[in-house]
Structure 1
Amino acid sequence: MKTPSIAIIGAGPSGLSIARALDKAQLPFVIYEKHSNTGGLWDIENEGSPMYESAHFISSKTLSGFPDFPMPDDYPDYPTRKQLCAYIQAFAKHFDLEKDIIFNTKIEKVEKDKDGWKLTTTQGESYFHQELICANGTLWQPNIAQYRGTFSGIIRHSNTFKKSTEFLNKKILVVGGGNSGVDIACEAASFANEAYLSMRRGYYFIPKHVFGVPSDVFSHGGPKLPLKVNQWIFKKLLKIVVGDQTKFGLPKPDHELFESHPLMNSQIMHHTSHGNLRIKSDIDYFKGNNVFFKDGSSIEVDEIILATGYNYAIPFAEEFFDWKDHRPQLYMNLFNPKHDNIYVMGFVETNSAAYDIFTQLATLLANHLKDKKESPEKAKIFRNKVTSETLDLTGGIKLVASERHTGYVDSDTIKAKLKQIQKQMGWKNTF
């Protein structure tokens, strides 16, 4: 059987998105997956997965599913990690994508070959392909924050946290104001003897429902308005729905609404207002079991959970990309300006649900790969755009200056640019 010219590494949501697009475009491919099943990080049994038992999706089922495969009607507004994993696996089965997946096969390294790429597995097997799509996901390489001093208790990254009962009879400090950090801090508030959350800055906390409607559905329901108008409207709305969050012990945000990744949480104010969770400032240093903060306060804890994010990584092919703030530099978060036959799927940090954007990006890539096969001259025209065009996909949002927001895109802006490219190139929006 002839080896397909296109290889995909990873059978999580992004890998399956491009697989579905290639299948529709009638372009043969193969997927290499290190785990024994599809699902990516949502499969808690997948080695290295950051998933924990109580995890839920932070965007609603209404907007979060694959466009041609909606989530089941009986799913709650915010599905559990088990439901998400089952949904992703059902997507792969429904579109018969599993037949093209080689499971239990981890790609150890990639080498440039005159006709494409040589892929070598951890077992020492080698495969050759002309086109390589890296869809290995973004939440696999923990970013371990460093602090002065030495902590005598347990200190670990949040990717090792699995069960809330791990916090029983302990004093817990969670570090990090992202969605997982806040969720884990709320778990600690329910199970630990004492629970604290250290945050470098204040954030806007958006409840998961507004007037009984999922917040993302509510915000997408109205007309598209200028950024400043949107900020004014939603800040007023948050005052009505939430009130002054500083009265709940939460620090005042040091930036405008929408200038950082949305924090979707309806529990934190319950726990802070009941004294189950106490908010601390940024860490200064450790000494024994004591943690000293930059505001001059200190606490004694047994364990520290570093919910300090992840570094993007393509460990098997890192040398073939240019990097900035642990992010590969890509055109449309997809195309590599350095090499015209290696791509990245799923490295998109955005302010909306990801799977729809994955699908649109996958369609864009499938169109280009089809041109490379059937219309090489047209493919060269697009390749020139990749190497010469500089894009700003922030939508004019002045994002918080942090590594987390390097390469961050506004969902409406990237979708508009996708439509523009499709039109310019005479490509279909679907196959």
Structure 2
Amino acid sequence: MITAMAYLVKQRHRAPAVTSPVPVDPSLPRACVIGAGSSGIAAAKALAAAGVPFDCFEAGSVVGGNWVQDNPNGRSACYETLEINTSGPRMAYSDFPMPADYPAYARHDQVAAYFDAYVDHFALRDRITFDTTVVDVSRAADRTWLVRIEGPAGEETRTYDAVLVANGHHWDPRWPEPAYPGTFDGQQIHAHDYRSAEQLRGRDVVVVGSGNSALDIAVEAGKVARSTVLSQRRGQWVLRKFFLGRPSDQAALPGWLPWWATALKLRIGALTSGNVTRLGLPQPRHAPGQSHPVQSEGIRSALRSGAVTPKPGVDRLEGDHVVFVDGSSAPADLIVWATGYRVSFPFLDPSLVDARDNDLPLWKRTIHPDLPGLYFIGLLQPVGAVMPLAEAQGVWVAETLTGRYVAPPTDEVRRRMAADHERNRRQFYASPRHTMEVDFDHYLWDLDRERRRGAARAATSRMPSGAVPGTPD
């Protein structure tokens, strides 16, 4: 079970129940949602429940984003053995539980079916425009947003008071920069293009990376490849998915523990899982809880059996071999670079939104104080699942657009944003993968507190004529 605090926090963040269609209120600001993945559909549901007029554009023909294998939008990194790393109850939306017969860690096809069911349950499908790509978002002189789209009917530009960006952040592959020296005679792919073990069968495979995808791919390669090497430049604490027969993220802790109990849970998980350094992987240079969790049930047995050979970081490429920093080498005809992703917004001019090195400071990972009316949904990397956090963000934005929430002055927003950024910087080691890292339970608690404060401000404030409700002044 989750901690008492986490349960109470989630209850406070429970999305408004929708028992019948909510009429659209044309007097409210008009919004655009970009993307119909897990974050986009949560945002769309929150807007629909609040009566906010909106359009949702999805480049593909289905909902579910990254959880749909071979998604027609061409951006999914989903592979055959992918399953969630957060247990179902911790991943589910607050008012739509996952089916009771799902396993503790659902498969990608089950997760995709869950998103489909969510969209149909809340009657959202007809509110989504499929096969339509947002190609440009820009600010108009009157502070509205111009959204240019391309779809089956051609190209057009629409005007909105608010834009909710939910295009995901696991679709633009980040390759090693600079590239490793030397030449390679074999094939190189990014983990984004990995789909099944058939790509690995009978080959000499080198997997480079230390995240969840790297370990998943290495384990599968160990079953079917001629040889498998897992190359890691930096060690990670590899947690098990189960503890005493239960999903690890549901392990009980005393309910009075504050939000930082998550770090304690990760430390306990690391200690009980055992240090993979004894199996040849690098010793982590950080404490448990100072990095995004890495989980694997199969990597230990693969290393013990010799199916996967551990190696340090890559030094150079030499034809049909990869040479590592310790001077050793391994034969290879396939390198899988599991080296993460860039945060990308191809529809936003970089002069407007700069996410170099994946670093885009936002207030509560949602609001850019210089760009009123522009919101980011799901642009965070939680120690836990994104979905409940994206749901809470969507509800917050809906409250903002309906005037039920009013933000504090911009200078206060900046101060608090800087304080949040500094806290996260201290908690997690410096890396592009940690620029968006947040603690699941603390984030929900903190956002709930701010929403209540904003509701109190809304009750006593008067909105200037023509302003978008709830945005910083």
TM-score of the superposed pair, with normalisation by structure 1: 0.91
Offset at 1:237?
5.6
Q: Is the 8 A contact 1:176 1:198 kept in 2?
A: yes
Q: 1:273 aligns with which of 298, 304, 308?
A: 304
**Alignment deviations for residues 135-167 of structure 1 (CA, whole Å, 9 cap, x no partner):** 111111100112111111111111111111111
Q: Name the amino acid aligned to 1:265.
A: S
**Alignment deviations for residues 336-395 of structure 1 (CA, whole Å, 9 cap, x no partner):** 122101111110111112211111122211111111xxx7xx746465543453232646
Determine if the alignment matches structure 1 residue 26 to structure 2 residue 51: yes
Determine if the alignment matches structure 1 residue 9 to structure 2 residue 34: yes
Q: Write the mapping of 1:220-239 to structure 2, written as runs, cut at 5 A.
A: 223-224=256-257, 235=267, 238-239=270-271
Cα distance in 2 for residues equivalent to 1:78 and 1:321: 36
Determine if the alignment matches structure 1 residue 182 to structure 2 residue 209: no
Corresponding residue of 2:441: 412
Offset at 1:254?
1.3
Q: Describe the shift of the 1:91–1:84 C-alpha distance in structure 2 as closer, same or farther (beyond 3 A).
A: same
Cα distance in 1 for residues equivalent to 2:268 and 2:76: 38
SS of the equivalent of 1:124 reads strand
SS of the equivalent of 2:207 reads strand
Corresponding residue of 1:70: 97
Aligned residue pair count: 421
SS of the equivalent of 2:453 reads helix
Q: Is the 8 A contact 1:249 1:273 kept in 2?
A: no
Q: Write the mapping of 1:307-386 to structure 2, written as runs, cut at 5 A.
A: 307-319=338-350, 320-371=352-403, 379=406, 381=408, 385-386=412-413
Corresponding residue of 1:257: 288
Determine if the alignment matches structure 1 residue 401 to structure 2 residue 430: yes
Q: 1:304 aligns with which of 330, 335, 352?
A: 335
Q: Is the 8 A contact 2:237 2:275 kept in 1?
A: no
- In structure 2, the gaps of 5 or more residues are 1-23, 458-473
Q: Name the amino acid aligned to 2:189.
A: R
Q: Name the amino acid aligned to 2:427.
A: K
Offset at 1:416?
2.6
Cα distance in 1 for residues equivalent to 2:268 and 2:374: 46
Q: Describe the shift of the 1:234–1:112 C-alpha distance in structure 2 as closer, same or farther (beyond 3 A).
A: closer
Cα distance in 1 for residues equivalent to 2:270 and 2:410: 44
Cα distance in 2 for residues equivalent to 1:367 and 1:235: 37
Q: Name the amino acid aligned to 2:113.
A: A
Q: 1:118 aligns with which of 146, 150, 153?
A: 146
**Alignment deviations for residues 162-181 of structure 1 (CA, whole Å, 9 cap, x no partner):** 11111111010111101111
Q: Name the amino acid aligned to 1:117.
A: W
Cα distance in 1 for residues equivalent to 2:324 and 2:410: 50
Greater CA drift, 146-155 or 318-327? 318-327
Cα distance in 1 for residues equivalent to 2:49 and 2:265: 41
Cα distance in 1 for residues equivalent to 2:107 and 2:398: 31
Q: 2:419 aligns with which of 374, 377, 391?
A: 391
Corresponding residue of 1:144: 175
Cα distance in 2 for residues equivalent to 1:232 and 1:385: 31
Q: Describe the shift of the 1:358–1:232 C-alpha distance in structure 2 as closer, same or farther (beyond 3 A).
A: closer
Corresponding residue of 1:282: 313
Corresponding residue of 1:424: 453
Offset at 1:398?
3.0
Cα distance in 1 for residues equivalent to 2:50 and 2:329: 59
Offset at 1:405?
0.8
Offset at 1:407?
3.0
SS of the equivalent of 1:20 reads helix
Corresponding residue of 2:230: 197
Cα distance in 2 for residues equivalent to 1:298 and 1:105: 47
Q: Is the 8 A contact 2:407 2:454 kept in 1?
A: no
Determine if the alignment matches structure 1 residue 104 to structure 2 residue 135: no
Q: Describe the shift of the 1:100–1:225 C-alpha distance in structure 2 as closer, same or farther (beyond 3 A).
A: closer
How much identity, in percent, do the aligned residues show?
A: 31
Offset at 1:326?
2.4
Corresponding residue of 1:245: 276
Q: Describe the shift of the 1:15–1:424 C-alpha distance in structure 2 as closer, same or farther (beyond 3 A).
A: same
- In structure 1, the gaps of 5 or more residues are none
Cα distance in 2 for residues equivalent to 1:383 and 1:369: 17
Cα distance in 2 for residues equivalent to 1:109 and 1:233: 43
Q: Describe the shift of the 1:282–1:222 C-alpha distance in structure 2 as closer, same or farther (beyond 3 A).
A: farther
Cα distance in 2 for residues equivalent to 1:189 and 1:422: 49
Q: Name the amino acid aligned to 2:435.
A: T
Q: Describe the shift of the 1:105–1:283 C-alpha distance in structure 2 as closer, same or farther (beyond 3 A).
A: same
Corresponding residue of 1:55: 82
Q: Describe the shift of the 1:73–1:236 C-alpha distance in structure 2 as closer, same or farther (beyond 3 A).
A: closer
Corresponding residue of 1:208: 241
Q: Describe the shift of the 1:99–1:73 C-alpha distance in structure 2 as closer, same or farther (beyond 3 A).
A: same
